[in-house]
Amino acid sequence: MGKPAISQANGHIGFANDSAYLFTGITRPDDGGATGYDTLPPHGLAKNALTVGAVSSIVGGYAGSNSVAMSTFSSFGPTDDGRIKPDVVGAGVNIYSTGSLFDSNYYTESGTSMASPNVCGSLNLLVQLHNRYAGTNQPMLSSTIRGLAIHTADDAGTTAGPDYRFGWGLVNVLKAARLMTNNFESGSIPFLKEVRLLNGGFIEFPVVAKGDEPLKITLCWTDPAGNPQPITLDPTNRVLINDVDLRVIRNGVTNFPWVLNPASPASAATTGDNNTDNAEQVAISNPVANGVYTVRVTHKGTLKDDTSATADQWMSVFGSGIVPQAEPPLAIEEIAQASTNTVALLWAANVGRTYQVQHRDLVDSGTWSPATGEISATKTNVAVELPLSGSSRFYRLVRVR
């Protein structure tokens, strides 16, 4: 993933029938130029993959964004359609690690090929931590592990927010582990939520800001495969399929996510409508202490799956700088006959929880059977309508996860 030579009149290696041939004096159009931007190879551009850049190790630990030093070889984004790549960076300069020459081989090497396994192994520890709390039968979404790395990364570079050199920043697996641990141990999943966004619907829930640190909300999702890009230099065709939008609102003031300008890749991030990335983040530097903010997730157009059929979209939502709130009681609060043949049930929900309504015909005996499928709560109140059956039926609410 190194930068291309600035002078292109150099030997280039071509491949034919899996054999390498050296062609000298063959040039190609400059792509990235002297600035080093727009130099990522194709395999680093996948929108659902976590692309890792390489930085120098920090002696003494992280001490602010300027303490993260970019390596001389790591490639910079943006992608041709303007997405933020790399996603994050990790230590990749003079890394002492295992080798493959013999069983006890260790060596020191530099490269994104050192930074990537460094980050990958660290994130695998988070998967193990998740399994310790949730069990192996409830694996986290792939967007959750990617979003964890993005949300808890330490800011890097000379300006606030993401950029096309460091992505969202330097991976901080300890911060990610603490967020995950606090999320489970709070009992009310305030810091990490996996939610299914319904086509035509929205996700909305309140958060209470601590006030003594920034309020940060991150949204990440695994987007369906985009259309193949045309065979041309730097095609700008957008590859995002499901354009999901994150907003954080208080007293009529809407806070927008970070956006970057691919036409000016060295410029600082601003805020606005991000219609390019499948990870968005809203950061409020000085939130009101104990102030209530509304997190709202919507989408443009029609949500689709990999076959282009209308579908729902699972989302991973992360929060920092918030005060955990109590889990609402697990109880049906209202029940009423909605029509001749249906009954309506309502309960207070915790967004990110998955519920199921069950029923049986006798109040004190019999087997409880599912009356609904699994319901991912997208709002703080959930209502369902069920068909009436027989002269009586009793319902209960269970939390699946």
Residue 390 has pLDDT above 70, yes or no: no
Residue 293 shares a structural domain with residue 340: no
**Residue 33 confidence (pLDDT):** 59
**Residue 60 confidence (pLDDT):** 87
Residue 362 shares a structural domain with residue 292: no
Q: How far apart are CA 267 and CA 42, in angstroms?
A: 24
The answer to whether residue 6 is domain-embedded is no
The alpha carbons of the chain give a radius of gyration, in whole angstroms, of 24
The answer to whether residue 60 is domain-embedded is yes
Pairwise pLDDT comparison (230 vs 23), residue with the higher score? 230
**Rounded average pLDDT over 120-140:** 95
Residue that finishes a domain, picked among 301, 323, 345: 323
Residue 150 shares a structural domain with residue 182: yes
Residue 220 shares a structural domain with residue 366: no
Q: What is the pLDDT of residues 196-215, one digit of tens each?
A: 999 999 999 999 999 999 99
Q: What percent of the chain has pLDDT over 90?
A: 78
Residue 20 shares a structural domain with residue 111: yes
- For position 388, which CATH number holds? 2.60.40
Residue 367 has pLDDT above 80, yes or no: yes
Residue 219 shares a structural domain with residue 76: yes
The answer to whether residue 211 is domain-embedded is yes
Give the predicted TM-score (pTM) of the model: 0.90
Burial 279-294 (b: 16+ CB within 10 A, else e): bbbbbbeebeeeeebe
Asked if 253 and 286 touch (Cβ cutoff 8 Å), the reply is: no
Question: Which segments of 46-141 does DSSP mark as H helices, in order?
Answer: 112-134
Residue 293 shares a structural domain with residue 390: no
Residue that finishes a domain, picked among 323, 342, 361: 323
Q: How far apart are CA 76 and CA 83, in angstroms?
A: 11
CA 376: distance to chain centroid? 18
Residue 304 shares a structural domain with residue 338: no
* Domain region containing 394: 334-399
Q: In the structure encoding, which two tokens stand for residue 336, read together?
A: 């009423």
**Residue 36 confidence (pLDDT):** 80
Query: Where are the extended beta strands (E) located within 124-221?
Result: 192-197, 203-209, 215-220
220 CB-contact burial (10 Å; exposed 0-12 / middle 13-18 / buried 19+): buried
**Residue 31 confidence (pLDDT):** 61
Q: How far apart are CA 297 and CA 143, in angstroms?
A: 16
> Considering only CA atoms, which of 169, 161, 160, 376 is closest in space to residue 274?
161
**Residue 30 confidence (pLDDT):** 52
Residue 1 has pLDDT above 80, yes or no: no
- Model confidence band, residue 42 (pLDDT cutoffs 50, 70, 90): confident
Residue 348 shares a structural domain with residue 317: no
- For position 90, which CATH number holds? 2.60.120.380
The answer to whether residue 256 is domain-embedded is yes
Query: Where are the extended beta strands (E) located within 71-202?
Result: 88-91, 95-98, 106-109, 192-197
Residue 381 has pLDDT above 70, yes or no: yes
Residue 143 has pLDDT above 80, yes or no: yes
Residue 227 shares a structural domain with residue 356: no
- Model confidence band, residue 388 (pLDDT cutoffs 50, 70, 90): confident
Pairwise pLDDT comparison (8 vs 220), residue with the higher score? 220
Residue 382 shares a structural domain with residue 252: no
CA 238: distance to chain centroid? 19
* Region of poorest pLDDT, from 82-91, 169-178, 302-311, 360-369: 360-369
**Rounded average pLDDT over 115-128:** 96
Burial 192-206 (b: 16+ CB within 10 A, else e): bbbbbbeeeeebbbe
Q: In the structure encoding, which two tokens stand for residue 319, read together?
A: 């929060």
Q: How far apart are CA 42 and CA 234, in angstroms?
A: 12
**Residue 231 confidence (pLDDT):** 84
The answer to whether residue 329 is domain-embedded is no
Q: What is the pLDDT of residues 170-203, one digit of tens each?
A: 999 999 999 999 999 999 999 999 999 999 999 9
Q: In the structure encoding, which two tokens stand for residue 27, read together?
A: 């040039």
Tell me the β-bridge partners of 356: 398
122 — phi, psi (to 5°)? Answer: -65, -40
**Residue 340 confidence (pLDDT):** 84
Mean pLDDT across the chain, nearest whole number? Answer: 91
**Residue 166 confidence (pLDDT):** 97
The answer to whether residue 282 is domain-embedded is yes
**Rounded average pLDDT over 355-383:** 94
The answer to whether residue 3 is domain-embedded is no
Asked if 263 and 164 touch (Cβ cutoff 8 Å), the reply is: no
**Residue 307 CB partners (closer than 8 Å, separation 6+):** none
The answer to whether residue 217 is domain-embedded is yes
Residue 9 has pLDDT above 70, yes or no: no
Asked if 61 and 175 touch (Cβ cutoff 8 Å), the reply is: no
Residue 126 has pLDDT above 80, yes or no: yes
Q: How far apart are CA 230 and CA 224, in angstroms?
A: 18
> Considering only CA atoms, which of 170, 154, 216 is closest in space to residue 191?
216
- Model confidence band, residue 15 (pLDDT cutoffs 50, 70, 90): low
Residue 313 shares a structural domain with residue 361: no
**Residue 86 confidence (pLDDT):** 97
**Rounded average pLDDT over 90-103:** 92
**Residue 10 confidence (pLDDT):** 46
* Region of poorest pLDDT, from 109-113, 258-262, 317-321: 109-113
Residue that finishes a domain, picked among 288, 323, 358: 323
Q: What percent of the chain has pLDDT over 70?
A: 91
Q: How many domains does the chain have?
A: 2
